[in-house]
Amino acid sequence: MDANQAHLILCRNGVFILPDAIYKSLSDQSAHGFLYMREDEEVLTISAQRVVDGHRRALNARFRVPMFREAKKLAIVNLTDSVRVMVVS
């Protein structure tokens, strides 16, 4: 998966699954199997590196994010050291 290219995924009741290539990229970079997440107004940042004002969670491809509860489709942008997830209308 190319960096900085948006990929569309389905979301149901705030639950979505990262594509395998993005999950592998994050797992290769994560220390001790943890990710860091931060919710901004309309964007979720998932990073293998610590994020200011973010919280830590165990590495898993499945996410439940309440701010995406009404979303049907999400766009994921795979950056060098993090992933940005946002709603597509």
Model pLDDT for residues 42-60, shown as the tens digit of each residue: 999 999 999 999 999 999 9
Q: Contact 7/78 with Cβ under 8 angstroms?
A: yes
Question: Structure tokens of 16?
Answer: 């979505």
The pLDDT, as a whole number, for residue 47 is 94
- What phi, psi does 62 have (nearest 5°)? -95, 130
**Residue-level pLDDT at 2:** 59
Ranges of the chain whose pLDDT falls below 70: 1-4
Q: What is the pLDDT of residue 89?
A: 78
R_g of the chain computed on alpha carbons: 12
